């Protein structure tokens, strides 16, 4: 995978920003989006275009979203199976690990304006190659051939199905192929059905900020800070914390937070999830994700099959998520499992080194939770310090999510250790 497509964290503490952004400026992030007019209508932005959004780091994140928009041109095309072939490139592509990556050749395709075009060459990224091969139930077989240098045999099998599609319309499937152009290269990001809705990082960021701005106007006293950002051209994770904190037993200062995420080509077109932000003695703190049943009641998940009308209808429920903080963190006051910090540390460590754990070979994660801590409740801050170090690790964000849920499940669970 090319570095330019890796979801990376923005180190907000190293970025200079004002924490302020005019609404009219914010809208530049979606000025070319297909649903721009719907955003304007939904949030009455013509009436508030001169208002200033005051959220810590909002301008820093906006600049990154705008950069991605300006440098990664995303567009869908439609093509039939009979018009697609795969071969090996005779040149390397900057950032792709393979010296001679695979290439998709589109003999014919339909562009976004409905025009028939010819001869498009692009490099598959993310899971696009496997998605294509999955249609023929030959993913493992073909990948093994490619790894063994048996490209001709892999192409022979793929061309068999291509020729079959040319002869029999029953095997000629039309799908949407999601492309992105960066610099002088075109990449195939994913393959979806025609009913797939891709709203994008720019849409997710813009509507989230407009919702937060509207909430602060309607609820004086609500103040927000963007505390964590991880972003790529296809993925966004934004954690927004409330700046008003409460004292909760051993946890120290606690407030609510909300994660805003999107994955253009994975699970979830747009997700809002209420979580707990534990500051302790740390500036950034850690995030706790409640148990599944509790999470369901405090989450909005919009799938890729959701049409735009339903999306804007569902977005109205975010306001209730933003304003249920008191009841949401009440559970923390009654957690029964916190007896000794080292018991919790040990349970986290055992989860990480379990033979079936995704972290069994990731020593940078395991090492954080190796050292014992005093079995005194006053040492709970040391456990939080460990969790904070884990949160700041530079690891794949799918893995980071799993790590957060492991830590949260153990700390918030009312069950005793096994």
Predicted local confidence at residue 255, as pLDDT: 82
pLDDT of residue 334: 57
SS3 347: helix
User: 10 Å Cβ neighbour count for 244?
Assistant: 12
Helices and strands, number each (H, E), in the chain: 16, 16
241: phi > 0 → left, psi -120 to 50 → alpha, else beta; which?
beta
CA distance 328 to 321: 10
Report pLDDT for 51: 97
What is the residue whose two structure tokens read 């025609």? 194
228 class by beta-carbon count within 10 Å (0-12 exposed, 13-18 middle, 19+ buried)? buried
How confident is the model at residue 417, as a pLDDT?
46
pTM of full prediction above 0.95: no
Structure confidence by residue, pLDDT tens digits, 44-80: 999 999 999 999 999 999 999 999 999 999 999 999 9
Contact 210, 45 (CB under 8 A): yes
Residue tagged 């496997």 (tokens): 130
Structure confidence at residue 377 (pLDDT): 53
SS3 301: strand
Could you say which DSSP state residue 417 is in? P
In 3-state terms, what secondary structure has residue 268? Answer: coil
Which tokens hold the place of 206?
A: 């813009």
Residue 256 has φ and ψ, to the nearest 5°, of -95, 160
In this prediction, the residues of the chain whose per-residue pLDDT falls under 70 are: 1-2, 95, 249-251, 267, 280-284, 291-296, 325, 327-339, 375-378, 414-418
Token pair of 117, please?
């075009």
From residue 368, give the alpha-carbon distance in Å to each of 297, 360, 374, 384, 387.
32, 13, 15, 11, 8
Supply the pLDDT for residue 418.
45
């Amino acid at each position: 995978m090319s570095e330019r497509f890796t979801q990376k964290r923005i180190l907000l503490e190293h970025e200079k920003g004002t924490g302020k952004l005019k609404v009219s400026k914010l809208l530049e992030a979606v000025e070319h989006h297909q649903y721009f007019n719907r955003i304007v209508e939904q949030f009455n932005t013509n009436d508030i275009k001169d208002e200033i959004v005051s959220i810590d780091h909002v301008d820093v994140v906006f600049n990154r979203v705008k950069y991605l928009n300006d440098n990664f041109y995303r567009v869908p095309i439609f093509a039939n199976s009979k018009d697609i072939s795969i071969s090996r490139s005779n040149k390397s592509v900057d950032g792709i690990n393979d010296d001679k990556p695979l290439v998709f050749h589109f003999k014919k395709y339909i562009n976004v304006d409905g025009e028939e075009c010819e001869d498009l060459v692009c490099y598959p990224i993310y899971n696009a190659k496997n998605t294509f091969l999955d249609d023929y139930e030959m993913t493992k077989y073909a990948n093994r051939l490619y790894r063994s240098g048996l490209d001709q045999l892999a192409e022979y099998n793929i061309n068999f199905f291509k020729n079959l599609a040319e002869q029999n319309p029953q095997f000629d499937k039309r799908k949407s192929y999601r492309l992105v152009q960066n610099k002088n290269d075109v990449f195939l990001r994913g393959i979806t059905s025609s009913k797939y809705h891709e709203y994008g990082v720019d849409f997710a960021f813009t509507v989230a900020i407009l919702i937060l701005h509207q909430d602060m106007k309607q609820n004086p006293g609500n103040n927000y800070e963007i505390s964590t950002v991880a972003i790529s051209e296809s993925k966004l994770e934004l954690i927004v914390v409330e700046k008003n904190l409460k004292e909760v037993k051993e946890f120290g200062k606690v407030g609510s937070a909300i994660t805003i995420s999107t994955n253009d080509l994975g699970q979830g077109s747009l997700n809002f999830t209420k979580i707990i932000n534990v500051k302790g003695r740390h500036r950034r703190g850690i995030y706790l994700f409640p148990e599944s049943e509790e999470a369901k009641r405090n989450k909005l998940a919009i799938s890729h099959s959701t049409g735009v009308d339903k999306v804007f209808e569902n977005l109205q429920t975010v306001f209730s998520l933003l304003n249920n903080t008191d009841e949401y963190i009440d559970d923390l006051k009654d957690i029964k499992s916190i007896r000794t910090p080292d018991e919790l540390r040990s349970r986290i460590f055992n989860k990480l080194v379990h033979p079936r754990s995704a972290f069994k070979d990731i020593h940078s994660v395991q090492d954080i939770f190796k050292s014992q801590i005093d079995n005194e409740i006053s040492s709970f801050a040391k456990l939080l310090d460990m969790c904070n170090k884990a949160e700041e690790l530079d690891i794949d964000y799918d893995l980071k999510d799993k790590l957060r849920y492991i830590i949260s499940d153990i700390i918030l669970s009312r069950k005793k250790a096994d």
